[in-house]
Amino acid sequence: MRISRLNAIHKYMLTHSASLTELAHQLELPDQAHFNMEFKHYMGLATRKFIKDKT
């Protein structure tokens, strides 16, 4: 996953409530699990923690 794409998704996640599955498909990843792994790798934070802290 390209960092610029992930940054765009990060900004989108701050203001919208799309499902992680939808975001994974937007990034052309096979499933949500791959999205979660990439997000944690680049952001240093699990998606669940990011979403919890956002609210």
15-55 pLDDT tens trace: 877 788 888 887 788 889 988 888 888 889 898 888 888 76
Q: Which amino acid is at 5?
A: R
Count of structural domains, the chain: 1
Domain residue limits at 9: 3-54
The pTM for the full model equals 0.70
Gap between the Cα atoms of 30 and 52, Å rounded: 24
Confidence of residue 1 (pLDDT cuts 50, 70, 90): low
Question: How confident is the model over 5-17, as pLDDT tens digits?
Answer: 778 777 877 887 7
CATH at residue 38: 1.10.10
Gap between the Cα atoms of 1 and 52, Å rounded: 23
